[in-house]
Structure 1
């Protein structure tokens, strides 16, 4: 069987959304070639030796996926082009947006991307481990098993790693958590393993929900987490002590319209996925709804901001 490698050069902002488009088209895995991440590995000391040079241009990310060459391929490629164009119309920058395709002979390509993902410790306690690697937890470490070929969200991206560090501080035993735009379910799983009693994980894209459920069961926290489809919190009932929204700025801004009905009076909103240029927009939207900044972190051009209702 032959495969079509579909590749797009795009922005950090659009990476997650394009990965979701590929997943919707039937790609079982997505490869993200991020020069910032490669630079981090080179300078981290985790490799004994590498002849890969430090990248000086880090703005362009290459996202790749593999689709079978069959009668459906042309339609899928047209759909991909249309969905990328719609991202631009919704204000998400995808430049340079260069799309290319390359036909490959049948090979075990589904395993080749595994060399890019290894056990990582993005927080003080949380360890993210791919399902094919072995790892023995040390001291008070909490291990989360995840197959990054399933859906976007592995903990290595700055937006997710900042959320993980904050969750280690925010999650208290017995609390209720809403995870809006759950992606792979990684943040819900971490909240459960940190002691949250109940978590509602929702995503607008119902095609990822089966994958989320599989990741939850892989980590044995299905008794704590319920999964569902929802446009923000429209299909979420009750109020939470903590709401997580690792999405994009425009969606977070919309979230404030629904927040009072779903966040306890002394509850906390943890947001991420906000590019530097949109930080003020999000903070201003929060202030207009009576929410103030409690904590603000930044990494690699992204912001993670914690909000609470002002007195």
Structure 2
């Protein structure tokens, strides 16, 4: 498989703005590279779908940067292989303390645990789902607060199963993950096995695969799938269950709010960077 590598060279002061823009274009994360002899500048790299030609990606990114009024020096594109992509971002993902004393360790990185630390090892072919992203961190914080004494955790779009593994550390005994992507479901199963965690991971549609009820439901998705999930997910939850959603970027916050307020009450909201994460209960 091939990918389009897109690089933007710009002043360091606009890193957050460019990263936010990238987050709206791809779910694969971005890489920040220093530029020798130019400490005030940075190169930001992300990887896009190769079904879109290089020239089209370049035009799209340049148009988005101009529309956002972000000054930049250069945009370049090139086609790379899976191995190029995998090796490129992998070196930047480091062990992350996702909760106090709980470390997410990429499988390819060495880490010497301190006394009392709990290690969760994650292998993945995506940078998203390794614990480095703000949405994962915010989900973990709300899980630690609202997941106490919960019995069943359902993770919709489980990806690498990172949230299921955190739920296990929090002591939730029954863990269920669902993902429509066969590769993601397979990776989730591998990560659970590697961490000696007993979890059930389904590949397919939530309605057809899961027929029980959970008292903690996770949905770290993006706005479009959240619009589909929010009206009906309550039937998969206990009456006093907690739903934690994330993947809501600033630019689409107002767009998703009617879908939330129509069926849910907000208990708490966390904002990390441009991302919003909410703990919800069913509206009475």
- TM-score interval for Structure 1 and Structure 2 normalised by the shorter chain: 0.7 to 0.9
| RMSD over equivalenced CA pairs, Å | 3.5
Superposition deviation, residue 296 in structure 1: 0.5
**Is the alpha carbon distance of 1:146 and 1:53 closer, same or farther for their aligned partners in structure 2, counting shifts above 3 Å?**
farther
The secondary structure found in structure 2 opposite 1:277 is helix
Per the alignment, residue 126 of structure 1 pairs with 102
Whole-angstrom CA distance in 1 between matches of 2:41 and 2:266: 34
Per the alignment, residue 24 of structure 2 pairs with 13
Q: What is the correspondence of 1:159-198 to structure 2 with a 5 Å cutoff?
A: 159-173=135-149, 175-198=151-174
**Is the alpha carbon distance of 1:129 and 1:215 closer, same or farther for their aligned partners in structure 2, counting shifts above 3 Å?**
same
Structure 2 residue corresponding to 1:280, chosen from 235, 254, 260: 254
Contact 2:154/2:217 (8 A) holds in 1:
yes
The secondary structure found in structure 2 opposite 1:183 is coil
**Is the alpha carbon distance of 1:173 and 1:292 closer, same or farther for their aligned partners in structure 2, counting shifts above 3 Å?**
closer
Superposition deviation, residue 5 in structure 1: 6.4
Contact 1:180/1:243 (8 A) holds in 2:
yes
**Is the alpha carbon distance of 1:109 and 1:247 closer, same or farther for their aligned partners in structure 2, counting shifts above 3 Å?**
closer
Q: What is the correspondence of 1:164-243 to structure 2 with a 5 Å cutoff?
A: 164-173=140-149, 175-221=151-197, 223=198, 225-243=199-217
Provide Cα deviations, 1:221-255, integer angstroms capped at 9, x if missing partner. Answer: 0x2x1111233544221110011000011211211
Contact 2:124/2:187 (8 A) holds in 1:
no
What TM-score do you get using the length of structure 2 for normalisation? 0.76
Question: Aligned pair 1:307/2:280, yes or no?
Answer: yes
Gaps of 5+ in 2: 8-20, 66-74
Contact 1:7/1:100 (8 A) holds in 2:
yes
Whole-angstrom CA distance in 1 between matches of 2:151 and 2:222: 25
**Is the alpha carbon distance of 1:279 and 1:195 closer, same or farther for their aligned partners in structure 2, counting shifts above 3 Å?**
same
Per the alignment, residue 249 of structure 1 pairs with 223
**Is the alpha carbon distance of 1:308 and 1:53 closer, same or farther for their aligned partners in structure 2, counting shifts above 3 Å?**
farther
Contact 2:22/2:46 (8 A) holds in 1:
no
Structure 1 residue corresponding to 2:271, chosen from 271, 274, 298: 298
Superposition deviation, residue 286 in structure 1: 2.0
Superposition deviation, residue 127 in structure 1: 1.0
Whole-angstrom CA distance in 1 between matches of 2:151 and 2:134: 25
Contact 2:159/2:184 (8 A) holds in 1:
yes
Superposition deviation, residue 111 in structure 1: 4.5
**Is the alpha carbon distance of 1:255 and 1:156 closer, same or farther for their aligned partners in structure 2, counting shifts above 3 Å?**
same
Whole-angstrom CA distance in 1 between matches of 2:155 and 2:103: 20
Count the aligned residue pairs: 255
Question: Aligned pair 1:267/2:241, yes or no?
Answer: yes
Question: Aligned pair 1:258/2:209, yes or no?
Answer: no
Question: Aligned pair 1:64/2:47, yes or no?
Answer: yes
Whole-angstrom CA distance in 1 between matches of 2:141 and 2:223: 20
Gaps of 5+ in 1: 20-30, 39-49, 66-75, 89-93
Question: Aligned pair 1:32/2:30, yes or no?
Answer: yes
